[in-house]
Amino acid sequence: MAQPFRVEKALNNNVLIASHPAYGEVVLIGKGIGFGKKRGDEIAESAVEKCFVLKNEREQEQYKKLLPELSEELIALMNEVIQHITRRVDAPLDEHIHVALTDHIAFTLKRLEQGLDVKNPFLAETKSLYPLEYEIAGEVAGMIERRLGVVLPEGETGFIALHIHSAISKQTVSEANQYSQLIAKLVEIVEQQLGVEIDRESIHYLRFVRHLRYAIERMKKGEKVEEPKNLSKILKEAYPLCYNLAWKLIKVMQQTIRQPADDAEAVYLTLHLQRLAEKKSETTA
């Protein structure tokens, strides 16, 4: 016979905190589950629509503090949202997403209600860097629109994508966003130096951003890149502007992430830059 849950604290009619011999402390969600309930009361498993377990004590405490500030509808929706993200990435998520994403979306909804929209200056970079996370974030925005009738601005999809990436990679959201900020800065330098305006929706931009992302990751891990024989010398002579610009970008990356870069990185970066420079001459020809 299934063991019952014991009420620790009823947060509202449909949400309460309970304890269970097998799961420890849990959040229970169910229609009318908290109505008239007091500490020590038993709840049968059959009455529970959703059971939410947080193993990390710190995350559990933060989540419990956050819950009373949220509507019952939002608590239930966020539980579904996180289940959807978990299914889509098919990997365990860092538990912090329960607190961080719930808090972020609650704050966003409050801001939109007040007519405030926070712009996301790194949307294009986030979209290119984390395509799967961005796609899932779009699905989350759709769930919010269908359930709450609120249309999130596209910039918010970018912020949600960062939270999803943070939960998959176990990075903090600010670390995940650091890539987006750094790449936005590098692209700006390229546009200034080459006198081009790169179309953020183009395949060339996408390839360039992906290359920068992997270059940054290689630098962080201290990985070496194999350089084709004498290619560095040939490129330096054939494309001096792009070769020097490649080194300028590498220096910015090194300063930001405080890791050295392999010399061969400049070779592959020069080839990408030359492709962008050629796109400019095609459009101006």
Q: Residue 127 carries which side chain, given as an amino acid letter?
A: K
Q: Are 47 and 135 in the same domain?
A: no
Q: Are 19 and 69 in the same domain?
A: no
Domain that holds residue 167: 56-171
As a whole number of Å, the CA-based R_g of the chain is 24
Confidence bin at 285 (pLDDT 50/70/90): very low
Write down the pLDDT at residue 266.
Answer: 87
Q: Are 280 and 206 in the same domain?
A: yes
* 119 lies in some domain: yes
Kindly report which listed range (70-84, 125-139, 267-281) carries the lowest average pLDDT score: 267-281
Q: Are 45 and 67 in the same domain?
A: no
Q: Are 162 and 251 in the same domain?
A: no
Tokens standing for residue 275: 């492709």
The DSSP line for 150-207 is -PPPHHHHHHHHHHHHHHHHT--HHHHHHHHHHHHHHHHHHHHHHT----TTSHHHHH
pTM for the model: 0.74
Write down the pLDDT at residue 155.
Answer: 92
Most confident of the ranges 47-51, 75-79, 144-148 = 144-148
**pLDDT tens per residue across span 75-109:** 889 988 998 999 999 888 888 888 899 999 999 99
Confidence bin at 282 (pLDDT 50/70/90): low
CA 259, CA 27: separation in Å to the nearest integer?
43
Q: Are 280 and 237 in the same domain?
A: yes
CATH number of the domain bearing residue 226: 1.10.1790.10
For residue 49, pLDDT over 90 is answered with no
